[in-house]
Amino acid sequence: MPEGPEVYMSGQFVNEACKGRFFGGKIVKSAVSKSCEVTFTSPKYTISSETRGKELGLMLQCDEDKENKLRILFRFGMSGHFKFAPVDETVKHAHLSFFTQDEPKMALHFVDVRRFGSWEPCDTWGADRGPDPMFEYDKFRANVLDNLSNKAFNKPLCEVMLEQKFFNGVGNYLRSEIMYRAKAPPFSCARTLLESIKDGTATSPDFLQFCHDVPKEVIDLGTGKNYDLTSSGEDHEDFDEWLQCYNNLGMDSLADHNKRMVWFEGDPGPMAPKGVGVKKKPAAKPKGAKPAKKDTKKVSADSKDVAKAVEEEKDETDATNGGDKEVATSSNTRRGKRKAPEPNEEVEEETKPKRKKTTSEPKKSRGGKR
């Protein structure tokens, strides 16, 4: 799900793409979208955007009558984003489209592969959303610390961080990165940690300050997490390098009480789900590590040396290829290894002639020949 930095960058993209352009004509909604039709009566209008946390407001304003305007509130769901493309270019999964009057003809599309995104005409932000920790930091901080009596703060810290009423714009990767950098156990009690900040007894770094700084780092990168499921993701390599904890090798992971995976390092905290084991993502091999070299020594004709050489060759091949591969099935069974014969051991296939298989061998009758 696009988080605060990705929504903000989408807003900047819209402003840049639509700058100096005029739009007009019918606003087209796809037949499969469950969101409402959008009607705006204006021969010529401009488009601009603003964002707050995980919400984006798209403003349509008539060029001739400044009082004639419409604001559309977008929520991106799991994969929502905007694309700006030539009119004659087919854009898959486009669910709401605005068309320019300028040449060459272009279109601004709201694209959503998984169709969890939505929009509605609305002049305000969502009532269930709090201040933006990136751009309304003082209001964000006050909204959290002044409402610690709210029952939401009875929960583990990692679960409260997905409450958009208090942590607007924070999603799964941001919560993991913020807690990791603030050295806050994900399953510690949210109220206990935040009360220590409020009364000045906190010994760890200021957790709420990280809620402001970490997402701003993503914006400074100029690229966030890739939510375009039709994209290769090559433009997001800087973001992948920036991540220190989320989905990283060597880090621990555990599903919270809402079945959302949280990434961390070390002790998860006293409120971790019972009876669920912590998973660790295996550390990667050191960069530049070379596979084992094959033994180039001459093998003698002696049967004992031959058997030994066969076994060594097999072991080296397994080491180079990472051992026997697991098949991605429900059973994940592993192929067994066949042991090389000892020098003096008789091999059954060599001492006994193989019986040829025939597909049309007649079955003998119990009563003999008729």
HSE value, Cβ hemisphere, 13 Å, CA-based, for 256: 22
Residue 291 preceded by cis peptide, ω within 30: no
- Element counts in the chain: helices (H) and strands (E): 9, 11
pLDDT at 286 over 50: no
Number of Cβ within a 10 Å radius of residue 122: 14
Could you tell me if 81 and 101 are in contact, meaning their C-beta atoms sit under 8 angstroms apart?
no
What backbone torsions phi and psi does residue 337 show, to the nearest 5 degrees? -95, 135
Q: What percent of the chain has pLDDT over 90?
A: 65
* Mean pLDDT, residues 323-328: 35
Which is more confidently placed, 85 or 350?
85
Q: For the chain, what is the mean pLDDT?
A: 81
Using the CB atoms, write b or e for 238-266: b if 16+ within 10 Å. Answer: ebeebbebbebeebbbbebeeeeebbbbe
Question: What pLDDT is recorded for position 229?
Answer: 54
The pTM of the full predicted model, rounded to 2 decimals, is 0.73
Residue range 1-19, pLDDT digits in tens:
899 999 999 999 999 999 9
Gyration radius from the chain CA atoms: 31
Interior CA angle at 64 toward 61 and 66, to 5°? 45
Residue range 174-222, pLDDT digits in tens:
999 999 999 999 999 999 999 999 998 887 789 999 999 999 999 999 8
Residues 6+ apart with CB under 8 A from 195: 148
Q: How far is Cα of residue 174 from the mean position of the Cα atoms in its chain?
A: 11
pLDDT at 137 over 70: yes
Indicate if the alpha-carbon torsion angle 158, 162, 168, 170 is positive or negative: positive
CA distances (Å), origin 230, targets 92, 107, 112, 234, 292: 9, 19, 10, 12, 38
Q: How far apart are CA 293 and CA 130, in angstroms?
A: 59
Residue range 309-321, pLDDT digits in tens:
444 444 443 443 4
Question: What pLDDT is recorded for position 231?
Answer: 58
Residue range 254-285, pLDDT digits in tens:
999 999 999 999 999 999 998 777 887 776 54
Alpha-helix runs per DSSP H in the chain? 4-18, 137-145, 157-160, 172-181, 190-198, 207-221, 237-242, 303-320, 348-351
pLDDT at 296 over 70: no
pLDDT at 308 over 70: no
Q: How far apart are CA 311 and CA 322, in angstroms?
A: 16
Burial class of residue 17 (count of CB atoms within 10 Å of its CB; 0-12, 13-18, 19+): middle
What secondary structure does DSSP assign to 76-99, as a single string? -TTT-EEEEEETTS--TTEEEEEE
Q: Cite the active site residues.
A: 2-3, 54
